[in-house]
Amino acid sequence: MVPRLLKPSHLTRALFSSSPFNPILKPIIPRSFDSFRALPKNKRDKVIKLWKDMGGSDERDIEKWCIEVEDEDEDDSDTNSDTNSDTNSDSPHIPQKSGYTLQFDGGSRGNPGPSGSGYVLYSPSGLEIIAGYNYLGSRTNNYAEYTGLIEGLKKAKELGVNGVCEGDSKLVISQMNGVWKVKHRDMAVLKKIADEVKGEWEFKWIPRAENCRADEVANIAMDREEDGVLETE
């Protein structure tokens, strides 16, 4: 159900009802235009980026989107409005599902040794949406790299998004693209799992310097020796 302070629309229903982004967007999207104006500038900018990623054409439209309905009578008008819009010939606005960037990394302090993996998912505008990390115990670098990829792809599949997956492991990227053969038994098992969850993602190698955030997240796993998720504030 659309919150009381939001004007019923295809967009708000997509964001708050059927959208796969619910767990991420609900804490961020303001419930009224007044609450939007009250946000700190960095959070207002974040909402604007999300708004544009979801299909909004102009940040000024947020005011229309967040029109307050406090003065409206408590009657069936909202229900009727929702019903009418459901029967509208225009299809509901579906959040953008392509154009995302997923970066992954993994490391081992000893190879094998204490290891961890990490991934970061970015929106089409470059906004960090979510990052996750996993502590893996005593593993090799390659095992950690593959785990970062797999966990990132699983999260992307859960959210229903796709795009370009980037990593600084030439081994993993080359194997995912079918350029290099998988010879090691453990890597073959991981490659099979990655293939099962890769969906429509494309795979691209990037230099380590461009993968700093995923590396940082993987190191959090090794430092804390635990699994975790870092959602946007």
Query: What does the pLDDT look like over 39-61, one tens digit per residue?
Result: 677 766 776 777 666 666 555 55
Give the H/E segment covering residue 130: strand 128-139
Is pLDDT larger for residue 68 or for residue 116?
116
pLDDT at 118 exceeding the cut of 80: yes
Verify that 76 and 126 share a domain, yes or no: no
Verify that 114 and 224 share a domain, yes or no: yes
Q: Which of 86, 119, 137 is the last residue in one of the domains?
A: 86
The pLDDT value given to residue 56: 61
pLDDT band at 33 (very low <50, low <70, confident <90, very high): low
Q: Is residue 218 part of a domain?
A: yes
Query: What does the pLDDT look like over 178-216, one tens digit per residue?
Result: 999 999 999 999 999 999 999 999 999 999 999 999 999
Verify that 52 and 164 share a domain, yes or no: no
Verify that 76 and 116 share a domain, yes or no: no
The pLDDT value given to residue 96: 78
Verify that 144 and 167 share a domain, yes or no: yes
Q: Is residue 132 part of a domain?
A: yes
Verify that 117 and 222 share a domain, yes or no: yes
pLDDT band at 68 (very low <50, low <70, confident <90, very high): very low
Chain Cα centroid distance, residue 105: 16
Q: Which of 55, 86, 117 is the last residue in one of the domains?
A: 86
Q: Which of 86, 119, 136 is the last residue in one of the domains?
A: 86
The pLDDT value given to residue 86: 41
Amino acid in the structure at residue 181: K
What average pLDDT does this structure show over 80-107?
63
Distance CA 207, CA 127 (A): 20
Q: Is residue 95 part of a domain?
A: no
Distances in Å between the alpha carbon of 9 and those of 14, 84, 217? 9, 10, 38
Verify that 82 and 18 share a domain, yes or no: yes
Q: Is residue 93 part of a domain?
A: no
pLDDT band at 175 (very low <50, low <70, confident <90, very high): very high
Q: Which of 230, 226, 228, 229 is nearest to 136 (CA)?
A: 226
What percent of the chain is modeled with pLDDT above 90?
Answer: 56
- Structurally, the chain folds into a number of domains equal to 2
Verify that 214 and 176 share a domain, yes or no: yes
Burial class (CB within 10 angstroms; exposed 0-12, middle 13-18, buried 19+) of 222: buried
Verify that 106 and 78 share a domain, yes or no: no
pLDDT band at 73 (very low <50, low <70, confident <90, very high): very low
Average of per-residue pLDDT values in the chain: 76
Q: What are 230's strand-pairing partners? A: 131
Burial class (CB within 10 angstroms; exposed 0-12, middle 13-18, buried 19+) of 164: middle
3-state secondary structure of 165: strand
pLDDT at 78 exceeding the cut of 70: no
In sequence order, the 6+-apart residues with CB closer than 8 A to the CB of 206 are 103, 166, 167, 168
Q: Is residue 225 part of a domain?
A: yes
Verify that 69 and 120 share a domain, yes or no: no
The pLDDT value given to residue 69: 29
Dig out the tokens for 11 from the structure.
């967009």
Domain span including residue 186:
100-231
Verify that 66 and 119 share a domain, yes or no: no
Verify that 156 and 220 share a domain, yes or no: yes
Q: Is residue 134 part of a domain?
A: yes
Dig out the tokens for 121 from the structure.
């998912």
